Structure 1
Amino acid sequence: MASVRLDNVRKVYGNGQVAVHGASFDIRDGELMVLVGPSGCGKSTLLRMIAGLEEISAGTVAIGERVVNDVAPKDRDIAMVFQSYALYPHMTVAENLAFGLKLRKHDKATIEKRIAAAAQTLGLAEMLGKLPREMSGGQRQRVALGRALVREPSVFLLDEPLSNLDAKLRHSVRTEIARLHRQLGTTMVYVTHDQVEAMTLGQRIVVLKDGQIQQIDTPMALYERPANLFVAGFLGSPAMNVLTGVLQRQDGLRLRLDNGTGLPMGQAQVPESWLGRRIALGVRPEHLQPDGSGDAAFSARIDVIEPVGNEVFVNLDLAGMPLVSRVSPRALPAIGESLPMALDSAHLHYFDTDSGLRLER
């Protein structure tokens, strides 16, 4: 096992495009770190620079105590799992697992021992004689994981390994990866564009946008205290509601929305210096609830109702501005009718409309 350290790592392509702008962070020994962000944000480029598959334009990458900028991928003591299974179709599971070990000249006894251990860990013991075409997508991905596992590397690098699986298989293999990490305690760097994967797998998460790090923290810290509007909107499903307007004190604290509607904020506490300031107000769907009482109540029109089993997403229209509320299953007015709502004033988020940065009360 080993830690990974990135110090001001940059990637600039020949045409001048900057893919990664000075990324610096540490991945602790035995940690599962997730790199997350939309397509083109630089997450896979960062992973490939750690692996040695992409040249580093500036900065340093260290695995353990060794700077590996000029070390060949095969000598970095890493194992990588890609989005594509990349299994040899003419080889059995056992032969696929053994292939990399044979190239490294391991003896037969070591190869058999590692294959047996990986097969037992990943539930592949009964499939060692099968060819990839005889297996499901989830089973093939487990073989791809096993091929990395038998290497016994210091660091596992996983580049969107679940993207080709359906929803049920994604959940199953995601659980498998989390269990595998707990069992092995090996350092893992996991790339995904799926915020649910990031939140459920990562011990810490690096959120990226346009090649720049937006925030690094634990999943719940990111959810509860996003550093900026991008993180606030990216993590969470449904996304955080964001309303822009001017803070006013008129029959209590209100946000005068851009469309002229006054949104009551109840007992929310803000500095007096914020009054008259234009801000972005964020509220998670679970903190926007049907409630016609109190000084934070207002009415919005029901636009769409989405029942998803144990909860219901209520899409609302507040004078032309969309809102989403997450509620427990209950009887609701019909679509097009008005629904009394209220903000939970203890769980509001404030952002600067120009910079997008979080405002601290």
Structure 2
Amino acid sequence: MAAVQLEEVRKVYPDGFVAVEGASFEVADGELLVLVGPSGCGKSTLLRMIAGLEAVSAGTLRIGDRVVNEVAPKDRDIAMVFQSYALYPHMTVAENLGFGLKLRGYDRAAVAERVDDAARTLGLEELLQRRPAALSGGQRQRVALGRALVRKPQVFLLDEPLSNLDAKLRMSMRVEIARLHRRLGATMVYVTHDQIEAMTLGQRIVVLDRGRIQQIDAPMALYEKPANLFVATFLGSPAMNVLRGVLVSEDGPALVLDDGTRLALPADDVPGSRFGTRVDIGIRPEHLLRRGGGDEGGAGGLAPTVDVVEPVGNEVFVNMTLGTHPLVARLPPGELPEPGTGLPLRAAPGRLHVFDPESGRRLEP
């Protein structure tokens, strides 16, 4: 296995469109790193540059100790798994797994040994003589993974490999990929637009938007301390609630929304230097807590109107409106609030996020 290093890597197309701007990061030897962001953010372009399928316009790309900017894809010692399974329909699973090795001149015994190893690793032993048409979507995806696995490359590249699967299969395949990575200790770069996949699979995550890296960190560090408003709202489901208004200090810190609604805030959560200016306040749905008893007048108190209640078993999503501003709370199951009524809530102390509305960057208390 090998590390992958990018130094100020840039991709500009002939029409002048900048797909990736100054990407710099390192994938450690044996690390599973996830590139995540919305469609068009540059994540697949970055992966294709690592694979050699896209030329690097500027910067330096290394795999191991070798600069590979001008190295052909076949000579980079990488294996790639695509969104499409791309299996040969007339070949059996065993033939699909070994076809790449045969093209590289491996003898029959070596091919059979590697195919058997990959089949055992991925639970494909009973399927080796079947053709792709006789396989489920999850089984086909395992074959596609196995075809990369038999290569024993320095780096595995996975480009949205689970996008074609249904929700249940995606969950089980996420677990399989995580187990496979732990077993192999392989260097993997995984691209997805699904923030749940990113959070559950990545040891570290690179968040991209419009070709630029927004933040690189471990999953929970990104979730708990996002560098800017884009990262804060992109990661998390349901998304972070964001309220924009003027920060005031009359009778304690508060946010005055554009419609005049006043939201009291815990003093320790706000940057005092921003009083009198506009800010964005972010509150994750699980950090909106029900008030009751002694909490009625607490800091951070609000009483939005309930619109829609979504019970999903172990938790309840409550969609509400505060003045003209939508809010979502994630509450434990229990007595459900009635639509059209006010729901007394408070913000959990120490859990507010404050952002500059112009630059989007996080403001520390």
TM-score by length of 2: 0.97
**Is there any run of 5+ residues in structure 1 with no aligned partner, and where?**
none
Query: Of residues 310, 315, 323 in structure 2, which corresponds to 1:311?
Result: 315
Q: Which residue pairs with 2:36 in the alignment?
A: 36
In structure 2, relative to structure 1, the CA distance for the partners of 1:360 and 1:267 (3 Å cut) is: closer
The question of whether the paired residues in 2 share the 8 Å contact of 1:204 and 1:217 is answered with: yes
Q: Which residue pairs with 1:295 in the alignment?
A: 299
Displacement after TM superposition at 1:333 (Å): 2.5
Q: Distance in 2 between matches of 1:270 and 1:282?
A: 11
Question: Is 2:193 the partner of 1:193?
Answer: yes
What amino acid sits opposite 2:238 in the alignment? P
Question: Is 2:176 the partner of 1:176?
Answer: yes
Q: Which residue pairs with 1:334 in the alignment?
A: 338
What amino acid sits opposite 1:277 in the alignment? T
In structure 2, the residue corresponding to 1:339 is in which secondary structure? coil
Q: Which residue pairs with 1:343 in the alignment?
A: 347
Deviation sequence 1:138-163 (CA, Å, 0-9, x none): 00000000000000001000000000
In structure 1, the residue corresponding to 2:343 is in which secondary structure? strand
Q: Distance in 2 between matches of 1:97 and 1:32?
A: 23
Q: Distance in 2 between matches of 1:3 and 1:203?
A: 14
Deviation sequence 1:46-105 (CA, Å, 0-9, x none): 000000000111111100000001111011010000000000000000000010000111
Q: Distance in 1 between matches of 2:122 and 2:45?
A: 28
The question of whether the paired residues in 1 share the 8 Å contact of 2:47 and 2:157 is answered with: yes
Displacement after TM superposition at 1:360 (Å): 1.5
Q: Distance in 1 between matches of 2:269 and 2:92?
A: 64
Displacement after TM superposition at 1:336 (Å): 0.6
Q: Which residue pairs with 1:218 in the alignment?
A: 218
Alignment: residue pair count: 361
Q: Which residue pairs with 2:162 in the alignment?
A: 162
Deviation sequence 1:251-299 (CA, Å, 0-9, x none): 2211111211100113434343221121101111110111142232221
The question of whether the paired residues in 2 share the 8 Å contact of 1:267 and 1:345 is answered with: no
The question of whether the paired residues in 1 share the 8 Å contact of 2:319 and 2:326 is answered with: yes
In structure 1, the residue corresponding to 2:172 is in which secondary structure? helix
Q: Which residue pairs with 2:209 in the alignment?
A: 209
Q: Which residue pairs with 1:2 in the alignment?
A: 2
Range 220-229 or range 336-345, more displaced:
336-345
Q: Which residue pairs with 1:248 in the alignment?
A: 248
TM-score by length of 1: 0.98
Range 288-297 or range 19-28, more displaced:
288-297
Q: Runs of at least 4 residues of structure 1 off by over 6 A?
A: none
Q: Distance in 2 between matches of 1:145 and 1:21?
A: 30
Q: Distance in 2 between matches of 1:306 and 1:253?
A: 32
In structure 1, the residue corresponding to 2:303 is in which secondary structure? strand
In structure 2, the residue corresponding to 1:306 is in which secondary structure? strand
Q: Distance in 1 between matches of 2:257 and 2:167?
A: 38
What amino acid sits opposite 1:320 in the alignment? T
Q: Distance in 1 between matches of 2:206 and 2:51?
A: 17
Q: Between the two proteins, what is the percent identity of the paired residues?
A: 68
What amino acid sits opposite 2:244 in the alignment? T
Question: Is 2:25 the partner of 1:21?
Answer: no
Range 8-17 or range 262-271, more displaced:
262-271
